[in-house]
Structure 1
């Protein structure tokens, strides 16, 4: 059993510059996943991509990123967080450069996979470095608030950035711009990022990581197949994901040094992982549906649709900072239900606004503001609460688990919202394709809003009233009782 005490927080030359470095790195990594969406037509035209190849270019990064996060987090704990952060940056930069110079589909997809692998190493390493440096409750809340805000903005504004770069310099610049940014971050890391000692006595747990990776990959691929109409294949892949996930849980329960100690999930703080999933799913579902509506029904360009989300992203940034400064006074049990209620209200208002002649200021903008308000508040509160129950020596794998939860929630939401929208077309008038499509989108949004509202009720019951101090030494020992906030 691992009973090693948590190390003292490392000394950092400039905490503000350090925070800016790790958060800006997360921004670049998340933009890397969504930036190709707007540029895909230009890429497809130049490289003569088939529809299947275009889908591969779109999903290769996020699929790799989502699948390898847990293993990347454990590697950060075992191999050293600064070391893996630097390696991840280098791999992401090389992958981006290879994307920029690709001349056909195969090399481009392979390069996207390489970039996703680098991101899966750098992202959990960066987050675990952040929570290792900022150890007091107030400092950690503010740092994680910045982290959550920057991540949400990066995921939201990827389309805008992709559209601007493609319009100005061509699609290859959406990848080329990552190279100098990563080089600067790599150089800055040597002076700003502390060398956190490796956790002694831990193994990489590669078999465990491969099981977790296979489970996440099968789930995401299965949902993608269901979304595209291959229901039987998709259901089979989801079944494989369930089996692999069950084997992973069994292995963790029996291992003396598990990749993801199950005892970490026996506390009230761990229930925040569920609400990370709900928040990511409902907000991305609304984002995905409204993006389709603006482009397919209102006839906006992808860049125009991306710019429409700027107020949403800006409000997330503002709310995240306010919440991070007041979370320890208000508490997640009060804040998260209010935030998810705002998400539910925004989704419902958005559903009611979907019509052929809707205007942005009176129809979409109010819904986007409610969604941004709820997403920003819930994202910070759930992130801080979830990480508070994880000892510092486990922060790499904890960060990987948290980010993987967000990625799976997003993939799950897109697939389910698309399926619900397809089923919901039955509520529209026969013979009117536009009206049927809008009816399906309304149905999907209302279901997502219902999930957010149910999440609000559940959060008011299971989340702790206050965020506890960071978990102490031995809190993650597999056979010991939980040392964080009790369930009673």
Structure 2
């Protein structure tokens, strides 16, 4: 009788590629993420200066802001998959180069069309570089605690950059003009590009894969239609054109899911969501929505009700950003010891408390220290804890050769959560404001009532998310996931073989 061959049920974690300067490598990946996220928000404060210089119409001004987030958000998943197929180092360098060229074109744009096109082009580069950088991190830092620490630094620096974009934009615009918010990226990105040649390892894909052009087209068009629909919801309200765009997005995303379920080598293998850790993607979406919703509402309150300049309002968010950065760093060291079932609900409760206190403190006489600082600190504590925990948890269920597409899915979820929350919060604020006006309230009082209502809804969603997280998230994180095709379970034959 032939002896059955036994194959281990789980492979050991793959060896990390050799990187000579691991500290420099981590600093480079985090710095590039900082630059990319600043690139998305840095333009907000500079919009009045851009409008005055180029003579932009309101609709054109909106597209200067939206063009980057549109291409960035809808191409993240395709960028992540491309990193798995063509090589993470190669796509990281290509994305950084495209982003640099896009920034230079923005700086020299002479009219609205060129500026909007250049912003979209820079977003394409960011969609290539960002998921490639995250997947490089998870490939180089293999040991669970080391990976958690690296992802904690990544999340902390990224959150800090996204929040500081307004401050950086205001300072550069005041010092040298709006073109400097784009021009400063060029030497910084060129330096990062040069350093990357020496510290980023060339990692060949372990398996031959194809790109799945049909899936890429469907998801790109679907996410683009969704972002467009949400943008139209903010600008035009619940008009037929808005619902038509959102319906088209639903159809395209549905077709994408069907194609992924039936495809031989899909763009987004649905199997990566079969692990319990995949619930973390949901809480990435939820946390982005809660944080951006509170950020958006409080920014409007400071500028429209309190009369603060955009630059002053940007500086007001620095404690929030600093708290996110510090909390993310501390939590990253304890994610595997404490576990997501405790950390994520605790973070969402803190976010709910921050949003609730912010709602109660909104008043025309509100001071920063008395009404805004404590809620900002609570929101920073909660967001910092959740961002790291959910990033580590979500990617722990993604096989190593799929880390590029996993990173793309994670970033897409975060971007979608922010876009969705702004649209929903804007609609809720408008509805509640109109009801208050109909009841005889003044414009200022009615606007504050609308903002309070939106923030209370945000707090309620965070509390509901905390309850859900305590139920569905795993108590502890397991080791790296394996592909079904890479794992053979030892099973003795049912009958003797001759």
TM-score of the two chains, using structure 2 as the length reference:
0.94
Aligned to 2:126: 119
Q: Does 1:377 align with 2:397?
A: no
Contact 1:77/1:199 (CA < 8 Å) preserved in 2? Answer: no
Are 2:173 and 1:169 aligned? no
Match of 1:451 in 2: 461
User: Deviation of residue 474 (structure 1)?
Assistant: 3.4
Change (3 A) 1:256 1:476: farther
Gaps (5+ residues) in structure 2?
1-9, 490-498
- State the SS of the aligned residue for 2:334: helix
Match in the other structure for 2:86: 79
Aligned counterpart in structure 2 of residue 324 of structure 1, from 313, 327, 332: 332
| Runs of 4+ that moved beyond 3 A | 3-8, 473-477
Is 215-224 or 192-201 further displaced after alignment?
A: 192-201
> How far has the Cα of 1:6 moved from its partner?
7.9
1:90, 1:279 → 2: CA distance? Answer: 31
The question of whether the paired residues in 2 share the 8 Å contact of 1:390 and 1:475 is answered with no
Distance of 1:471 and 1:266 partners within structure 2: 11
Please name the residue that 1:309 is paired with.
Answer: 317
Aligned to 2:417: 409
- Deviation of the 1:476 alpha carbon: 8.6
Do structure 1's residue 187 and structure 2's residue 194 form an aligned pair?
yes
Trace 1:252-263 onto structure 2 (pairs within 5 A). Answer: 252-263=260-271
* Deviations, residues 229-248 of structure 1 (Å, cap 9, x unaligned): 24221111111111111111
Task: Encode CA deviations 1:94-147: one digit per residue, 9 max, x unaligned.
Answer: 000000000100111110011000000000000000000011110110011011
The yes-or-no answer on 1:20 pairing with 2:27 is yes
Q: 1:462 aligns with which of 451, 466, 472?
A: 472
CA contact (8 A) 2:14 2:142 kept: no
Q: Is the 8 A contact 1:252 1:258 kept in 2?
A: yes
> What's the CA shift for 1:218?
0.9
In structure 2, the residue corresponding to 1:340 is in which secondary structure?
A: helix
The aligned residue for residue 436 of structure 1 is: 446
Residue number in structure 2 paired with 1:418:
426
1:353 to 361, 368, 379: 361
Confirm or deny: 8 A CA contact 2:13 2:480 kept in the other structure.
no
Q: Distance in 1 between matches of 2:302 and 2:486?
A: 47
Question: Following the alignment from structure 1 to structure 2, what is the Cα–Cα distance between the partners of residues 360 and 326?
Answer: 33
- Tell me the alpha carbon deviations over residues 215-238 of structure 1, each in whole angstroms, 9 at most, x when there is no partner: 111111111111112422111111
Counterpart Cα distance in 2 of 1:388 and 1:287: 29
Verify: 1:237 aligned to 2:245, yes or no.
Answer: yes
In 1, distance between residues paired with 2:235 and 2:458?
A: 20
User: In the TM superposition, what is the alpha-carbon distance from 1:467 to its structure 2 partner?
Assistant: 1.5
Whether the aligned pair in 2 keeps the contact of 1:6 and 1:473 (CA below 8 Å) is: no
Aligned-pair CA distance for 1:206: 1.5
Q: Which of 11, 25, 31 is the matching residue for 2:18? A: 11
2:258 matches 1:247: no
CA distance in structure 1 between the partners assigned to 2:58 and 2:235 by the alignment: 12
- TM-score calculated relative to the size of structure 1: 0.96
Q: CA RMSD, aligned part only?
A: 1.6
Q: 1:265 aligns with which of 267, 273, 279?
A: 273
Residue matched to 1:142: 149
How much has 1:204 moved relative to structure 2?
1.0
Identify the residue that residue 344 of structure 1 maps to in structure 2.
352
Alignment match, 2:4:
none
Matched residues, number:
477
Q: What residue is the counterpart of 2:207 in the other structure?
A: 200
1:473 deviates by 4.4
Partner of 2:494: none
Structure with max Cα Rg: 2
Question: Is 1:398 paired with 2:421?
Answer: no
Query: 1:55-96: per-residue Cα shift (whole Å, max 9, x none)?
Result: 111110011100000000011011110000000000000000
| Alpha-carbon distance in structure 2 between the residues aligned to 1:66 and 1:79 | 20
Whether the 8 Å contact between 1:311 and 1:368 is mirrored in structure 2 is: yes
2:84–2:404 CA contact under 8 A, matched in 1: yes
Q: Deviations over 1:169-196 (max 9, x none)?
A: 1100000010011101100001110001
